[in-house]
Amino acid sequence: MFYKKRLLAPGPTPVLEEALLISAKPMIHHRTEEFNAVMKDVFDKLKTVFVTKNPVLLFTSSGTGAMEAAVANLCRTDRPALVVRAGKFGERWGDITKAYGVPTDVIDVPWGQAVDPADVAKHLKQKPETTAVFTTLSETSTCVAHPIKELGEITSKTDTLLVVDGISGLGGQECRTDAWNVDVVVAGSQKALMIPPGLAFASVSEKALKKSKESNLPKFYLSFDKHHKNIAKDTTPYTPAVSLIFALQTALDRMVAEGMDAIFNRHKILGEAMRAGVKAMGLTVFSRRPVDVATAVDVPAGVDGGKLKKLFDTEYGITVAGGQDHIKGKIVRIAHMGYMDFFDSLAALAALGMGLNKLGHRVDIGAGAAAAIKRIEAA
């Protein structure tokens, strides 16, 4: 049977058609007034999307490049960093700090749960010399939202920076960078920003920029200082991904026109609708504090999670993600971020129910769809 292909994994995500088309326009030189005008517009609009008045640096890399840049520019080999490990990408922060020889303390949080701000406050009281707290906005591996606002209230009263991996959340999951006292938010282009992989970003507060002058770690291509200075000249220090920046400008135009409050609310409704549908089918959500941009669904006992995920792709034309590490085969992760709408979510709910029914775990697909529709209609 023919099925329309739907990319509903938590990244890469579907690309906005207008952005895809404009990325095919003829190449122009990146050291020209024409391209500088594009960059100026992009830098201005990135501030709106990051909800900040501070500069947003742009790197040609995956989101992990911006994570590495944050560590290399903010940390020291003689001062500790604190990493919140609550999933695969929280662990990545620790992998990067250790690769740079940074003394690393960790707060381990069970997968599926969010960090308790009180644990962070306690740690910083015991170790006020901590350079930065590294955590995630939307932990992709578990679909958990961490209490970033509360963490910002804690770090803002200290000399410690708050650095947030917003790669799978920025532009969908609510994040008010300045109001929440977040010093650095890193993001990637292939999630809620609705364009292909290849660009990474880092918003940098004045506090963080000042701290970057004190770092004793090596950096060259990822230097905050070099990138920050070039923003004033409407350019980047090294050759940027020109075609991706054309796509980014188009996506940012759309996001600015919609408005960040409306975008946050739209994703909130999509998340609540998906969770309502999942629960109405008698299933459970893995995350104790779920994000709005993706939903992790527990695979029922007796069902092969690998086979369920494969059915999505081979039988229904839908790409979703499974669990990682010790939860592999135990969850499926369905995204509803960026260039996705309610009807994509309905398709995912139907495929989830059809797959479970085919594997012998009967669910009421109609009840799931009805619950999701009810939440949408209440918006």
CATH number at residue 219: 3.40.640.10
Confidence of residue 283 (pLDDT cuts 50, 70, 90): very high
Identity of the amino acid at 169: G
Question: Are residues 250 and 102 located together in one domain of the fold?
Answer: yes
| pLDDT, tens only, 15-54 | 999 999 999 999 999 999 999 999 999 999 999 999 999 9
Above pLDDT 70, what percent of the chain?
A: 100
Number of domains within the chain? 2
Same domain, 200 and 296: no
57 occurs within a structural domain: yes
Which domain range does residue 273 map to? 6-12+260-377
pLDDT at 366 over 80: yes
- Among 201, 226, 258, the domain boundary falls at 258
Question: Are 64 and 213 found together in one domain?
Answer: yes
Give the span between the Cα atoms of 97 and 74, in whole angstroms. 10
In this structure, the answer to whether residues 120 and 254 fall within a common structural domain is yes
The yes-or-no verdict on residue 201 having pLDDT over 90 is: yes
d(CA 155, CA 162): 6
- C-alpha span between 297 and 281 (Å, rounded): 11
Q: Is residue 1 part of a domain?
A: no
Q: Cis before residue 12, ω within 30 degrees of 0? A: yes
Say whether both 187 and 327 belong to one domain. no
Q: What are the structure tokens assigned to 302, written together?
A: 């007796």
User: What single letter denotes the amino acid at residue 242?
Assistant: V
With a cut of 80, say whether residue 144 has pLDDT above it. yes
What is the rounded average pLDDT of the residues 323-328?
Answer: 96
Indicate if 83 and 196 belong to the same structural domain.
yes
Alpha-helical (H) ranges within 104-169 are 117-126, 148-155
Residue 221 sits in the same domain as residue 269? no
pLDDT of residue 20: 96
Calculate the average pLDDT of the chain.
Answer: 97
Residue 241 CA to residue 35 CA, distance in Å, equals: 12
Considering only CA atoms, give the Rg of the chain: 21
pLDDT for res 379: 83
Last residue of one domain, picked from the residues 217, 237, 258: 258
Residues 208 and 355 grouped into a single domain: no
Place 2 in a pLDDT band, splitting at 50, 70 and 90: confident
